[in-house]
A and B are shown apart, each in its own frame.
Chain A
Amino acid sequence: QKEVEQDPGPLSVPEGAIVSLNCTYSNSAFQYFMWYRQYSRKGPELLMYTYSSGNKEDGRFTAQVDKSSKYISLFIRDSQPSDSATYLCAMNQAGTALIFGKGTTLSVSS
């Protein structure tokens, strides 16, 4: 079983839609959960950072972690064409290597 699984998409939505991106994982020791945004041939940009279970909101973005189900989500409200990118989930234990999902490619059309 792969450590972090993420549906690669592609996911296409109209402008203004609510987007839901998800990852599952197998290692119950993971404590820190991140979402990165990556534009084509660029470096990952840290979007959201969550410790343990719970929700975190930042503007149009909400990150959710359910450690009991080993499932994390990123919601994007009122999606914009500029949100079109690949979204990577990543997770780790404190101070250790990040383990990434494969990324979900999102396209928001105007």
Chain B
Amino acid sequence: EPEVTQTPSHQVTQMGQEVILRCVPISNHLYFYWYRQILGQKVEFLVSFYNNEISEKSEIFDDQFSVERPDGSNFTLKIRSTKLEDSAMYFCASSAPGQGARGNEQFFGPGTRLTVL
């Protein structure tokens, strides 16, 4: 069964460094998302991406964050200058185009655990 994949599974970085988290969405999906989950807290929306542009973003997604679809398969999240509070699990999700309910299902990857020291 097709699935969303993410690399790396765990990233450790120093405060102030740039990190890039990578995702390969399900191949026929056209909507892409990033969420994060700080340990013990809710899964929180960061950004959605469709047709090579951001379609929605949350207050968390400030100028330190950017997303890109550099080729036909990858979807990346860049954090320009990491802070301690960026430590979290970052999940990529994708959904298929379509009418009504079927096109709205979002499928999540296994996540990248980001640790900022």
Report A's interface with B, CB cutoff 8 A. 32, 34, 36, 41-46, 49, 51, 88, 90, 92, 94-103
Contact = CB atoms under 8 A, between A and B. Distances in A.
A32 B48 CA distance: 17
Interface stretch (B62-70, B75-83, B104-112): B104-112
Contacts of A102: 41-42
Contacts, number: 60
Nearest to B100: A51
B108 A36 contact: yes
A97 B45 contact: yes
26 contacts: A41-B111, A41-B113, A42-B110, A42-B111, A43-B6, A43-B91, A43-B109, A43-B110, A43-B111, A44-B43, A44-B91, A46-B106, A49-B101, A51-B101, A90-B43, A94-B103, A94-B104, A95-B55, A96-B48, A97-B45, A97-B48, A97-B56, A97-B58, A98-B35, A98-B43, A102-B41
B24 interface: no
B33 interface: yes
